[in-house]
Every structure is written in structure tokens, then in C-alpha cells.
Structure 1
């Protein structure tokens, strides 16, 4: 979609200029959460630019009130240097090792600066200099951040280091770009929402008017010449009648999803989404028809999904009571069909609606049920979120014991989860909430331990100070 590609193309041009123009010390990118991963991919891709000879280091550690994260960034630099040594060795190049880590005089920022100086010295032709990409997942203490960044930018021994700062929504750099003047380049990378909505509207309109014989891409709204059917691929003849249905059944898929019923459902869903965007109540009718088509065609899981979407549409039009009824019906159907993850989604939505209705006790109960269903479904991220939200609802009611129980349940799920799951979850936020509760009750040691644990979970996805997950 051009509305998404356009800002990324513009960023690619500016990032390529940064790679070529060595007088630039800073590339500053402000973007949005939905584009963050693509932005980092574009930026890091400049390491392979024909005019670049500097190694790139991507550092995404949080810059928080409780920890600035320079020690963790130093660890990331060492890890990436080791990986680069192994990569260039395969090409017959010998990149020197970094000196062994040792306690440096001064604070963690000083130690980080010393390490970057060692990176500049540990080089082999044609490599020279370095580009450090700072993309904190969380930003706090912006005044301190600006001070420390200026220290790094102005350090004479780091003159060969160039910097990229990528952050979300708004700039945290204060006067730094202005102070750098022509040596800095600032870029905003956002999607034009009006252009995106116009593109989506055109796709929905095309998909809603597509014939049953049109190719798959055309049925999803992609541009396609009318009346044109693509030829069969070489070595892939058109399957015999019934062969496709048999293959789908063998894969555990109901054939109706690929046939005429599936096509009708897709059209109803797209038209309902378009009606919702225009705030037309026809969205509810069309979405209900999509659900009914799924039920008639034996598409039980798809019917549940349609029912959850239908409930969200009712919420959008302010019909909260009907939405709750719909979510409850979806939850009951999910339990009957043995689909615990969808049951969890229904309960999470009910919890949110109960909070809007100022019924926190009902919300907490719904969140607990969602967490329990998520555990049954083997979905730890949803389970942690359910317990965290339940704990928050209890805490808002002043019921500290129940809040503590829910939050500890969330952390217990985290203990049994992998490091990537913990890092991607709300477990760190849960630990901070529990720490705040402990401080209010005078439990300073427990609070400090939980705060340290929250940082490890957020930055490394681990539960213990040794870097290994704690077993129950």
C-alpha cells in the first residue's frame, strides 16, 4: 500500500544520505509504533550501503527512571561485535577482539564510552568508525537523556562514532538537533491516515463487488484487470474437481472456507468494516450476516470470530448491554467448542466493558477467567495480561490482598514462560505495580527486588539476577 510505503521510501532516502555523508553526526527519526520495526529495518539496512564502511550497533534497551541501561547497552555492543567477528571471519577477515570487560572508573555511561573507544580501535580494513543506533523501548527522564547523549556526542575520543536515535511519537532530544545544525538530520516517518483510509476504502469497494470467478487477490481487494484469469503455473496443473476439498479436509480445514460460502463471508466482513468506518449501523447487520453464514456452513471457529467482531461493533455504537450479551454467548460457545483462547478473548473484552460501566469487581472476575482460559490454551501472554488487569482492578478498589494474589499469579506464569515471551509481555509492568503496592505498605526490600526484576524482564526477558529463569 502506497500510503505505508511512501514514508518508508522517504526515510530510506534520508538514511542512505546519512550513510554517504560522513559529516552528519546524528540521524534523528520520530515514528509510530506500527512503523517502528520497519524503520529500524531500513536504518540497519544502511550498514550494507555501498558507501558505508562503519559497523552498525542496534541498542533497544529502555531508558528508565530506575535504570539508564548503559550497562546493558555495553553488553549488546559486545555481543554484536562477537557476531560480526564470526561473520567477517568467513570472508577471510580478522576483526580484533574487544578487551575483556572490567570495572571502569566512573559511572556506567563512562564505561560505555570507553567501550565504544575500544570498538573504534578493534577494526580491520575496510571497516572504520561506528554507527550506534539508539532505539529505547521506553523513554523517561528526558533531561538526563539529553545530557548524557550530549556527553557522548561531544566526547573527542568518540568523534568517529555517528549516531541514530529512533523514538516514538515525539522528540525527546530537546535542543540537540538545533545545536548540531548541519551535522544533524531529523526525519519524521508517519503514515498519512487520510491516504491510508482512502486506500482501504478502495480495496473494500473492489472486494465487495468482485465476482465468484475472480482470482484470489482480486477477491481481497487487490487491483486486477477485469475478466482476466491467470494461467496455471508450469508443473502445477489445475486440480481435478473435488481434489481441493479433499486436500483441505486432510489439512483439518472445512472446504466451505475456500468455496462460495467463504467468499460471501469475506465480502460481508469487508462491507461491514467499510460501513463501520462511515459510522453506519449497517455494519452490525452485515457482520451478523457474516456470522450466520459461518454457522450455516459449519465454520464453527470462524463463526466465533465473527461473533467477537460483532460484539465489538455493538460496543462501537454504544450498545454496551447487547455487546456484553454477545460476548457472553461467544464465551459459552467457545467453551462448548473447546476453543479456550477465543473464550479468553471474550472475557478480556467483557472485563474492559465492565470497567467502562464502572463495575470493577465484575471486570476483575472476567479478567481472571480470561487468564485461566489462556492458561488452558497455552497462551502465556494473554494469561499474564489477564492476571495483571485483574490485579489492577482489585487495586483500584483498595483490595490489596486480591491485587497481590492476581499479580503474583501473573509473575508465576512468567516464571514458566520463555525469555522472549516474558520480554514481550506485561510482566515487567506487573512487577512494578506490585512493587508500588509493597512500598505503600512499607515493604521497601521487596519493592526494590521487584523493581530490579521488572528491569530484567523488560530488557532481557529473564526472572533472576543471574540471567536464568527461576523455576518454581
Structure 2
């Protein structure tokens, strides 16, 4: 990830110096968007830069290009900047009482950019607009609107940085601007990362000292002496640490080299899955499970095992995945790891439902609800009861569906308002209402619909009792 970001940093630095460049176009991968956006915004701090930067992330949609919202953000940003700089003795022009005459949002945005340019005062020069829409629904229309702004004579002092998620090539604009346009492609090189990781795993032993563990060249068999002042813990002190680790649910053995090795295999498995090397990913993840088991890390084993089951499912091996998730569920139940038991049950229920085993799916969801509640995951328990009711209804088990939905509603009534109103209990209430209305019980159905509305507002029984 560091390599493309370093290249982007160099391009932003050059853009700050080369004021003749009108456009920097950054084509970014999703994994790097957040980091890339921080780098672009930090371009304003470059020693060679004299222009204020304004970052606008609003999506560009066919129904609404977002120019009205961008204009509002631009004006608010400028006035906020003006107030802050005024306190430091730097005066900028104010937008107060000024506004573009055009009713068209796109044209009005250009008008606001023009007004801001008129408000810029030395030592500042020009303006850099960073357009980083989270979504571009039509690359061609977006490019046409962008071109109008970039080529507008009144906005000659404005320069533009455009970051997209590789949705908008801007080929025509690049051709028109020629040398006055730059392009940067910031995508993670997963193949290179996997190659580096495999080399590290093949050659690096977690028992080695720090520099060698990180992959640095190091003389074979040489262990550096302890730093002056470092003290080796006594047996009693190490025992106390082990007790604290065990109390936190972590195997003391995994706090050292075994844990580092387990993490290496876990990370390698994830990379190989992303690269489409499923068999290699499974091998790495099984090794992570083996290390956790050897270290007697019970919770770590359950977590690594659950990841392995998920990989099997992603590779389309549903029978093997079901067997693995069933093993995870059994182990988690033995260890009273209730949240992990609930999560494994959800996966089993999903596979039962996809196979048309709706009664089995209802049972799995119900058991997951019970364990989620024991783990104090009330929102998850409510959703599990709702899904259990849905599966029971699919199996024509009306009474069981009613019971499950009522469990979900009852949990929400006893939950904190913020948990209840964001839960799926209102949906459960409406699903139950539809079932009752189909049975001719209109009054009960209407009551449930009112209850759903009340829960959505956080007006639960628990909230009412708290006021007493």
C-alpha cells in the first residue's frame, strides 16, 4: 500500500509547484481512497503551495449532480477559513451578501468559485478545488460538466484535483489539456504484497530479534544483547502476566512467537483469497488453526476455525463449510463463547435456508438468538428471533413463527431506546401483523402496527419505566 501512496505524494507535491498544471486526476482503488484523500488535503501544507484547498466529497448522481450541495459547502468552508485567519491577522474577502445570479446549480457552483477567487488576498493565490465524489453514476456527463468548469475563462485562477474510483477516465479532457493535466493511478498491488508476504513467511522466524523478524538481513545465530537497563521478568512476574492473559481470554503462548506466526498465516490466507488462490488460502488458514490449537488458545481456535469455514463457503464448498461451522458451533458452546456460537449458528441457518430446510433454519436462528442474548448482543438476538419467525412462516409453522416474532418484539420492549429503535423488531411486528391480518385478526394486527411505530421512535416499555 505504501508504494502507490508515495507516488501520489510525489504527484501532489509536483502539482503544488507546477502552477501551470490545471488538473490532477487521481484514479483510486477503494482500499486506498481514505488514505489518498488525506494526502490530497495535506497538499495545501506543501511548502511550494500558495493556494487554499477545498475538499468536496459529494456523490455525482444522474438525478442530482450535487452541485448545489457543493456550492453550499464551498461557501461555508470559505467563511470558516476567513474567520480563523482573521484571528491570526490575515484578512480575506467575505462572501456575505453575495451570491451568483444563475438558478442552474452547476452554473451557480462556477459562480461561487468565481466569488471565492475574488475574495483571495495575498499571500494566497488562486484556489484548488478537490472534487472527490464517492460515486459517479455517468462518467460522460460528469466529464462534460467538469470540462465546463475547468475551461471557463473566469475561473482561470482555479485549479482542480479530481479523484474517482476508476469510474471516470476523463480521456477527452486529458487530451484537450495536454501537458496541463496529470494523472495518478493509486491502487493496491495485491500480487506484490502477496509475494512479499510469502517471502517473509518462508524466511523469517518470529523467534528472531526485531530487525530480522521484520525481514532485515541479520547474521545467522547472532542474538543482540539486552539493552542496558532492561530487566528479565522473574518467574513470579511472568506467572502474573500469564494469569492476566488467561483472564482476558488469550493463551499466554500466543502472546509470543506462536501468536506472531499464527497472524502471518492468517494474513497470508486473506491475501490469497483476495487473489483467487483458494487452495493456498485454505492451507494457510488451516495452519493458523493448528497453531492456535497447539497453543491451547481456545477462543483463538474458534475464531480461526470460523474464518476457515467462511473461506470454504466462499469457494462454493457448502457441504464442507457446513461441517466446519457445525464444529465451530459445538466448540463455542462447550467453551461458553456465546457470541461466537451465535455467529456460527447464523451461518448454519443461512445454508439451511438456501437448501430449503426452513424448519432447520428456524431452529438455528432461535438457538443463535439465545446465545446472542447471553452475550448481551440484544440487537443481534432480536434479528435472530425475527429471522427464526420468517423461516418458520416459510415452513408453514404459523404458531412457531408467531412465538419467534413475539420474542423479538418483547426483547425490544425491554431494551434501551437506542437499541430498540435501530433493531429489526418493528419489522418483526409488521410481519406478525400481516400473518394475523391474513387470519382475520384485524384488530390485533393494527395494534402490532402501532407497536412497531412506537418502537421505531424508541418509545418502549423500558423507556416508560425509566421515567417512573
TM over 0.5: yes
1:40 matched to 2:37: yes
- What is the DSSP-based 3-state SS (H/G/I as helix, E as strand, rest coil) of the residue aligned with 1:175? helix
Q: Give the conservation status (yes or no) of the 8 Å contact 1:28–1:165.
A: yes
Aligned to 2:157: 160
Aligned to 2:323: 325
Q: Distance in 2 between matches of 1:186 and 1:26?
A: 8
| Match among 209, 219, 229 for residue 215 of structure 1 | 209
Q: Give the conservation status (yes or no) of the 8 Å contact 2:53–2:127.
A: yes
Cα distance 1:304–1:165, how it changes in 2: closer, same or farther (>3 A)?
same
- The alpha carbon displacement at 1:307 in A equals 0.6
| Worse overlay, 278-287 or 294-303 | 278-287
Aligned to 1:240: 234
Q: Distance in 1 between matches of 2:366 and 2:128?
A: 46
Aligned to 2:126: 129
Q: Distance in 1 between matches of 2:225 and 2:309?
A: 42
Aligned to 2:55: 58
Cα distance 1:128–1:32, how it changes in 2: closer, same or farther (>3 A)?
same
1:6 matched to 2:12: no
Q: Distance in 2 between matches of 1:103 and 1:47?
A: 27
| Worse overlay, 366-375 or 246-255 | 366-375
TM-score normalised over the length of structure 1: 0.67
Give matches, 1:105-184, under 5 Å.
105-184=102-181
Give matches, 1:69-468, under 5 Å.
69-85=66-82, 87-89=84-86, 91-99=88-96, 105-207=102-204, 210=205, 212=207, 214-215=208-209, 218-219=212-213, 222-225=215-218, 226-230=220-224, 232=226, 236-247=230-241, 249-250=243-244, 252=248, 253-259=250-256, 261-262=258-259, 265-266=262-263, 269=266, 284=282, 287-288=285-286, 290-295=288-293, 297-315=295-313, 318-334=316-332, 337=335, 339=337, 342-343=340-341, 345-346=343-344, 349=347, 416=418
Cα RMSD (Å): 4.7
Aligned to 2:24: 27
- The alpha carbon displacement at 1:28 in A equals 0.7
- The alpha carbon displacement at 1:190 in A equals 2.6
Q: Distance in 2 between matches of 1:125 and 1:372?
A: 66
Cα distance 1:189–1:262, how it changes in 2: closer, same or farther (>3 A)?
closer
Cα distance 1:151–1:303, how it changes in 2: closer, same or farther (>3 A)?
same
Q: Distance in 1 between matches of 2:112 and 2:317?
A: 59
Cα distance 1:356–1:103, how it changes in 2: closer, same or farther (>3 A)?
farther
Q: Distance in 1 between matches of 2:98 and 2:375?
A: 44
Q: Distance in 2 between matches of 1:101 and 1:416?
A: 42
Gaps of 5+ in 1: 423-468
Q: Distance in 1 between matches of 2:357 and 2:123?
A: 65
Q: Distance in 1 between matches of 2:23 and 2:292?
A: 54
- The alpha carbon displacement at 1:129 in A equals 1.2
- What is the DSSP-based 3-state SS (H/G/I as helix, E as strand, rest coil) of the residue aligned with 1:163? strand
Q: Give the conservation status (yes or no) of the 8 Å contact 2:143–2:168.
A: no
Post-superposition CA distance 1:363-399 (Å, at most 9, x none)? 899899989988987889x96xx89xx8xx99xx9xx
- The alpha carbon displacement at 1:175 in A equals 1.6
Cα distance 1:193–1:363, how it changes in 2: closer, same or farther (>3 A)?
farther
TM-score normalised over the length of structure 2: 0.68
| Worse overlay, 14-23 or 311-320 | 311-320
Q: Distance in 2 between matches of 1:149 and 1:369?
A: 55
Q: Distance in 2 between matches of 1:135 and 1:371?
A: 42
| Worse overlay, 305-314 or 160-169 | 305-314
